[in-house]
Structure 1
């Protein structure tokens, strides 16, 4: 199943891949602002000879056409950075833009996919079918995938595959589980309105701070008492804006949070229960409540045959010990939207190495990766595409 030529080519491109990744790391760009990043990707595609088209406002879709007609497999990498201040002082390729950083590894995803593209292009005469390459903007705000889908990226696609560098896993480990991998991630905003007044006269007021506090303390009962304990769920209130002065009873309270789960039926129950809790708590204190529940990403559920194909490739290419059974995470990924349109899978590439100080959590100012892991990620991209097309050529 493995193509040994791909293995050799990717190993030969390793230094170029790391250099490209470091260039992107030094020039991070936020969601839908990835203008330079898009230009650098296009430069690489032109050098390789791969046809491409630009998407709006940023991003690239490219295509490697095989020698014979067949199915189309899509490989996706995200390209955006985060509004995080880089704190790494032990590397010589720190972000050159204050307050912006590739603190989640999207620079590595882009470099790995370009490297896989170079190798796949060299063996295009062996491909029965096409490999679509997607360099997607705005994953961090969960809008990029849908923007690409609206611009036709999924037309004619039979299978999709993506990956994420993963600092919680040791470098050289890879994972691609069957079933749920990432959770849905929704946004929650609750506004309580009471009646303000002097802090010395609470009987003349409706205290929005009291209402908000009661809601925060009670809303966790939804997870513990209304959701099946075998169904993971998270309700987090991460922000509260209440009151204006120490001796003024608050008239308004605005709460913001996130809701996570792996099951759309559970999501519906959570949404309905949050609305009910907010209204009932407000009524108990003579206040009013307004709930704004915004859907974010879908649960990311790997299709079984696609995940098993990735697992087989990992074991054949890197040995059985490289395959890791990583637990699902309640983090979120907008790759889930591609899976609404075609079967596929999403893999994790371990990058944590305490010896190289690369075990920091994603979205942290000290986040970094063990660059030795990039070669395995690039090969997994390439071998997956080749194997999928080989399996489905008849």
Structure 2
């Protein structure tokens, strides 16, 4: 794999990036509980002389690096939260906490943002404009971007553009994923409660079997994408939870079905919940059951601004050279960075982080997820190059 030559300042920073990332990985915290993580970040920002606000949306941080030369205001965003997963890796920095793990790369995102902030602060005499670094809680849920936005992190001074990145084990180290327009999907959630009538398993005629009703619903939901959605428009309907019954000889009186809907086009995002409820209502009526249906519109689709996507691609080609592996990445995964990008032009891009030769290629949200830490320096270099191109300056001679 062809890797870029990083500027000396980033090369020198690499050991610190690894140290920060491993500390955060070792002490993971779930959404809106990132107290130790926030304190760790704040201590370092303070030691570098970077003004910052803490406690935004519970645990979020906003750091502001003000250049000594006039210029635009650009924001960088990194998420800090972990997942409720028991880590299976046997490494020195494995999670110390049961059923809590950084299994999506947020520890790396945080380290990259910290490193970028440190180098910008050290070179603010050459920096044009202002860079706001947003350390956001609860991306995995219930969502920290919206409350940080409501707290005014894009104001005073007003942000003109925003960038974010995601370490990406779906692609090899040395690759970059970026495209204009839709990049990540609407991430919506539904809950269905089926209310039947319980009874003895040997006397089913006296009952309304919620499991049978639920099974019919789960099967029928699979026809929405195949028969109701334009086949040229991507969509996913997934049932992730089906719970019913307590005994082998009792007909279940109720059942719960939970799932997620992913799509890119607003019309599809509106069509699918309507069809879900129509299917649920029809099947329940046919079997004599009733239901409760709840649909939660969670994260909007991530739509990259064309000019900002072009900025990232240009920067990536400068970093990786003529043989740059740039992929027009598009995924059904969701991301609440979309709330920021609905307010100001932005680009959310992917930094390849998998290395199969080292066994660092498990997928995101897997209990053995880990990534090649060489991606940390690449992430800092990409952020710096994007800043240079956005503000029209060069920081190549950084301290």
TM-score (norm 1): 0.95
1:141: which partner in 2? 141
Alignment of 1:255-266 (within 5 A): 255-266=257-268
State the partner residue of 2:291: 289
CA distance in 2, matches of 1:142, 1:254: 20
Aligned to 1:247: 249
CA offsets 1:315-367 (integer angstroms, 9 cap, x no match): 01122333321431111111111111001101111111011111001111111
Judge conservation of contact 1:142–1:333 (CA < 8 Å) in 2: no
2:313, 2:326 within 8 Å by CA — same for their partners in 1? no
Correspondence list, 1:1-394, <5 A: 7-54=7-54, 55-89=56-90, 91-155=91-155, 156-390=158-392
**Distance of 2:273 and 2:84 partners within structure 1:** 29
Indicate the SS of the match to 1:305.
helix
1:225: how far off? Answer: 0.7
Q: Distance in 1 between matches of 2:280 and 2:200?
A: 25
The corresponding residue for 2:397 is none
C-alpha displacement of 1:390? 2.0
TM-score by length of 2: 0.93
Distance 1:209 1:70 in 2: 62
- The residue that corresponds to 1:3 in the other structure is none
Classify the secondary structure of the residue corresponding to 1:321.
Answer: coil
For residue 22 of structure 2, give the secondary structure of its aligned residue in structure 1: helix
Give the superposition deviation at 1:167. 0.6
- CA drift at 1:197: 1.7
Asked whether the equivalents of residues 127 and 390 of structure 1 are also in contact (C-alpha less than 8 Å), the reply is: no
How far off is 1:68 after superposition?
Answer: 3.1
Equivalent position SS for 2:237: strand
**Greater displacement, 381-390 / 31-40:** 381-390
C-alpha separation between the residues in 2 aligned to 1:74 and 1:380? Answer: 14
Unpaired stretches in structure 1, ≥5 consecutive residues: 1-5
Decide whether the 8 Å contact of 2:52 with 2:62 is kept in 1.
yes
SS at match of 1:18: helix
Tell me the distance in 1 between the aligned counterparts of 2:384 and 2:151: 25
Give the secondary-structure state (helix, strand or coil) at the position aligned to 2:103. Answer: coil
C-alpha distance in structure 2 between counterparts of 1:100 and 1:253, whole Å: 29
Would you say the 8 A contact 1:181–1:302 is kept in 2? yes
Alignment length, in residue pairs? 385
Deviating above 4 A after TM superposition, structure 1's stretches of 4 or more consecutive aligned residues are none
Q: 3-state DSSP class of the match of 1:125?
A: coil
Q: C-alpha separation between the residues in 1 aligned to 2:96 and 2:208?
A: 50
Matches of 1:243 and 1:103, distance apart in 2 = 32
Over aligned residues, Cα RMSD in angstroms?
1.4
- Checking the alignment, whether the CA contact within 8 Å between 1:190 and 1:292 is kept in structure 2 is yes
8 Å Cα contact 2:28-2:102 kept in structure 1: yes
SS in 2 for 1:10: helix
Contact 1:160–1:344 under 8 Å retained in 2: yes
In the TM superposition, what is the alpha-carbon distance from 1:142 to its structure 2 partner?
4.2
| Kept after mapping to 2: 8 A contact 1:242/1:250 | yes
Q: Deviations over 1:87-113 (max 9, x none)?
A: 111x22111222211111111111111
